[in-house]
Amino acid sequence: MARPKKLIVDYFPHSCTHRKTMFILEERYGNDGYAFWFKLLEILGNTEGHYFDLNDSGAMEFLQAKTHLSEDSCLNILTLLAKLQAIDPEAWEHKAVWCQKFVDGISDVYKNRRETLPQKPSFYKQKPSTDDISTDENPSVAGVSTDRKPQTKLKETKVNNINNTILSTFEFWNSQNIIKHKTLTDSIKRTIQGTLKNYTFEEIKASISNYAEILKGKEYYFKYRWGLKEFLSRGLEKFLTLEIAQSNYRKQKEAPNGKDRRYPEEKLYTDPDSYRLPVILSTDPAILKLHEDLKGEKPHPPDG
C-alpha cells in the first residue's frame, strides 16, 4: 500500500529582517499584527495543501482561538494583507487564504520528499452560456477543461473542513492549559473525528471550557486532569452543561475534622425510601445533626 502524501510542513523560514508588510501591520495593530501574521503562517504550514478556507465556521473559530482576536479584527487584518499582496487577493475574495511566497519558501521540503509543490487552487467559475452546450462529445465549453469534477472539489472541501475543525479542537484544548499536547497525533485525530460524529464543535469547545473552569475553581473538589483523548472518551458528557457540573462538583461545608464533605449527586436522594442510612455509632452532635438533615428525622444515639 502506497504511503499517503504529506502536504503539511513542520517548520518554515522566519526571516530576521522584515519589509513593508510587517511595518504596516505593527504600525496599525501593534504586537497583535505581528503575532497574527506568524500564527497565520503556522496555520498555513499545518494545513493540507497550505490553503486555509475560512468559509467554514469552524475555521474562523480556530483562527480566533489561535490569534486571540475577534472575528472583526481577523477579517480586517486579512483584508489589509490582501491589499498589501502578502496573501493572494483573488483567494481572499473567496474568503480563502493562500500565500505564494510562503509556499515558495518551503519548496526545498517538497524537493527533498520528491513531491510536487502544492499549487494555488483555481477559483474560476464558468459562466452559463446559451451558445455552447456541454455534451458527452463536447466535454469542454469555451475552451475550459472539465477534467476536475465538481464532486471531487466538494469532497476535498469537506475533508479540509473536517481537518480544520479537528485542528481547531486540538488548539482550543491546548489553549486551556489543562494538559498540553505537543503534537496532534493520528490517535488524537481519530478520537476527535469520532467525537464530531455525535457532538458539534461548539459543544466540544463548551465542554472543554467548562472542564477547565471546574479544575481551576477553588470552590470545586474535582481536580482530575485528563489528556484530550481521555477527556473526550470519559469526561465530555459530564461537563457539557456548566450549571450541572458546578452543582455536581462544588465543595460542601467543612466537616468537624476539617475535610470537605463530598456527597453523591442530589438526584440520588430525591426519594427518602430509596436508600437507607447506616446506623449511627457516634454521640458527636455534629454527626447526629448531619444524619438528621439527610434522613429528615431525628436519630437516636446508641445506648450506653
- Which residues lie closer than 8 Å to 228 by C-beta, 6 or more apart? 170, 173, 179, 181, 188, 191, 192
**Grid coordinates belonging to 211:** 472542564
Least confident among 105-114, 197-206, 245-254, 266-275: 266-275
pLDDT computed for residue 162 by the predictor = 81
**240-260 burial code (b ≥16 CB/10 A, e <16):** beeeebbebbeeeeeeeeeee
Average pLDDT, the chain: 76
What is the DSSP pairing of strand 96-97 with strand 52-53?
antiparallel
- pTM (two decimals): 0.40
Q: Which residue has the higher pLDDT, 104 or 122?
A: 104
pLDDT computed for residue 11 by the predictor = 57
Residue from 118, 105, 88 nearest 5 by CA: 118
Q: What are phi and psi of 253, to 5 degrees?
A: -65, 155
Distance CA 56, CA 44 (A): 15
Residue range 134-159: mean pLDDT, rounded = 51
pLDDT computed for residue 80 by the predictor = 93
Residue range 151-179: mean pLDDT, rounded = 79
Provide the pLDDT confidence category of residue 164 given band limits of 50, 70 and 90: confident
Please state at what angle helix 150-175 crosses helix 57-67, rounded to 10 degrees.
30
Residue % of the chain over a pLDDT of 70: 65
CB atoms within 10 A of CB 78: 20
Q: Which residue has the higher pLDDT, 224 or 143?
A: 224
pLDDT computed for residue 232 by the predictor = 93
Residue range 300-304: mean pLDDT, rounded = 52
pLDDT computed for residue 161 by the predictor = 74
Provide the pLDDT confidence category of residue 56 given band limits of 50, 70 and 90: confident
pLDDT computed for residue 302 by the predictor = 54
CB atoms within 10 A of CB 203: 14
Distance CA 212, CA 173 (A): 9
pLDDT computed for residue 13 by the predictor = 59
Residue from 144, 146, 164 nearest 54 by CA: 164
Q: Which residue has the higher pLDDT, 269 or 219?
A: 219
Residue range 133-159: mean pLDDT, rounded = 50
pLDDT computed for residue 113 by the predictor = 77
| Sequential DSSP letters for 46-110 | TSGGG-EETTSHHHHHHHHHHHT--HHHHHHHHHHHHHTTSS-HHHHHTTEE--HHHHHHTHHHH
- With beta carbons less than 8 A apart as the criterion, state whether 8 and 115 touch: no
Residue range 265-280: mean pLDDT, rounded = 43
Provide the pLDDT confidence category of residue 4 given band limits of 50, 70 and 90: low
Q: Which residue has the higher pLDDT, 125 or 284?
A: 284
140 pLDDT more than 50:
no
pLDDT computed for residue 142 by the predictor = 42
pLDDT in tens, 69-117: 999 999 999 999 999 999 999 999 989 999 998 888 888 887 887 778 8
H helix runs in the chain, sequence order: 20-29, 31-45, 57-67, 71-83, 89-93, 100-105, 107-113, 150-175, 186-195, 201-216, 228-230, 242-249, 285-295
pLDDT computed for residue 271 by the predictor = 41
**Grid coordinates belonging to 27:** 504600525
Provide the pLDDT confidence category of residue 123 given band limits of 50, 70 and 90: low
